Amino acid sequence: MKLNVLIAAGGTGGHISPGVALVEELNENKEKYKIQNIYIHSLKRNKDNPDLKDSPAPIIWHNIPQFNWKFIFYSLHFLYYLFTTAVYFFFYRINVVIAMGGYSCLPALICGLLLGKKIYLCEQNRILGKVTRKFLRFSDKIAFSFPPIYLDEKKVKNFKILGNPLRSKIKPDKNSVELKIKNKEILEKDNINVLVLGGSQGARQINNILLQCIEDPQIIKNFSFRILTGTNLYEEAKQKSKREVDLISYSQDMKTHYEWADLVIARAGAGVISECLAFGLPMILIPYPHAADNHQYENAKYLEEKHAAIVLYQKDESPIQLTKILLRLSSNKQELLKLSQNAFKISNLSATEATAEYFFGNENA
């Protein structure tokens, strides 16, 4: 019997992108994995997400609200979307649910559980999301991007640590990355290219820190900056900038930017971390302090322990600490090289293929 697969990829780009990466991989191997159809289950507010605008699979939209104090209204909304999801399950004959995390996966997971379907979980962060935690014991298999913490391995045995699935358009050529690191190209550079990524949460803080940093003449002398400000903050950053700097509101071609960069300054979301690791890029991470369960802190801490990133724990917009780190790196490129080597060492460019094989391969069926 061929399978009909529903991939619940809802809340943020960090959940959507790896979900779409899995769709791409499964589409290419439908015969191998005995899959007939693949569908994406996502929130209506994600209709403008670039990964879903160019979706490789049909999308089933829903609009489940986040829990709030108006519980009775939440219940009615939830029951409505739970019912409509169940209708889709019957109509499309769904056999397997893959949940990428976040509250938006709940309707698909509950329907999968009640209707006796296979349930696979993908968790991107080291601290498990609330939905993942609730469904651990009901899942058939769990794929982790990084070694999880606070996981009782005696109770949860059906998991593997496989890395975060990456879309084909973002994957680098492994040989070129290895050659770049092997040839120690960073040591020969007079000017270090720095890619700055604010991410979807808290970009203003990173933008403001960087715009203050580049006022230092030593910083601007030794570094070239490319700042992805975020669409909503582009004009604000442009007005605050006192020097000529490459400001970009948004880009769908992140691969080009990663290939340009020698160093990345970013939040500590699992998506951007996985992409930087794949390109062997050293990182300065500034975890978003208000992320759910402080998961960005733990993501960053893991890379710090692996000596693949420098972590800057701060909530204000002072440029002092970052300026010190940048000046240190400009005079010690060996440190940058070591960070790069360690980053690439813990990357997994085959995470997408490995996750698909784990879920659907014959030996793991």
Residue among 307, 311, 299 at smallest CA distance from 274: 299
Task: For residues 151 and 228, state if they share a domain.
Answer: no
Res 365 pLDDT > 50 = no
Same domain? 57 vs 78: yes
pLDDT tens column, 31-52: 999 999 999 999 998 998 889 9
> Within this chain, do residues 305 and 285 fall inside the same structural domain, yes or no?
yes
The residue-averaged pLDDT of 165-190 equals 95
- Is 332 found in the same domain as 357? no
Residue 349 CA to residue 74 CA, distance in Å, equals 40
User: What pLDDT, in 10s, does the model give residues 98-143?
Assistant: 999 988 999 999 999 999 999 999 999 999 999 999 999 999 999 9
Q: Give the pLDDT score at 201.
A: 46
Average pLDDT over residues 169-179: 95
Same domain for 60 and 206, yes or no, is no
Are 266 and 311 within one domain?
A: yes
The CATH number covering residue 227 comes to: 3.40.50.2000
Local confidence band at 289 (pLDDT 50, 70, 90 cut-offs): confident
Could you tell me if 63 and 13 are in contact, meaning their C-beta atoms sit under 8 angstroms apart?
A: no
| Cβ–Cβ < 8 Å for 132, 123 | yes
Please give, one letter per residue, the 3-state secondary structure of the chain: CCEEEEEECCCCHHHHHHHHHHHHHHHHCHHHHCEEEEEEEEEHHHCCCHHHHCCCCCEEEECCCCCCCCHHHHHHHHHHHHHHHHHHHHHHCCCEEEECCCHHHHHHHHHHHHCCCEEEEEECCCECCHHHHHHHHHCCEEEECCCCECCCCCCCCCEEECCCCCCCCCCCCHHHHHHHHHCCHHHHCCCEEEEEECCCCCHHHHHHHHHHHCCCHHHHHHEEEEEECCHHHHHHHHHHCCCCCEEECCCCCHHHHHHHCCEEEECCCHHHHHHHHHCCCCEEECCCCCCHHHHHHHHHHHHHHCCCEEECCCCCCCCHHHHHHHHHHHHCHHHHHHHHHHHHHCCCCCHHHHHHHHHHCHHHC
Q: What percent of the chain has pLDDT over 70?
A: 96
This prediction has a pTM of 0.93
Please check whether residues 143 and 35 belong to one and the same domain. yes
For 320-342, what is each residue's pLDDT tens digit?
999 999 999 999 999 999 999 99
- Return the pLDDT at 250: 83
Are 182 and 153 within one domain?
A: no
- pLDDT value for 71: 58
**What pLDDT shows up at residue 72?**
56
Number of domains in the chain: 2
Estimate the crossing angle of helix 13-28 against helix 270-278, to 10 degrees: 50
Apex 11 CA angle, 71 and 150, nearest 5: 85
> Would the pLDDT of 175 be above 70?
yes
**Same domain assignment for residues 221 and 249:** yes
Same domain, 20 and 142: yes
* Residue 187 clears pLDDT 90, i.e. is over it: yes
State whether 186 and 158 are in the same domain. Answer: no
> Are the beta carbons of 276 and 283 closer than 8 angstroms?
yes
Q: Which residue range is the domain that position 216 belongs to?
A: 174-345
Q: What is the pLDDT of residue 350?
A: 96
Domain shared by 113 and 256, yes or no: no
Q: What is the pLDDT of residues 191-232, one digit of tens each?
A: 999 999 976 544 889 999 999 999 999 999 999 999 998 888
- Predicted local distance difference test score (pLDDT) of residue 74: 67
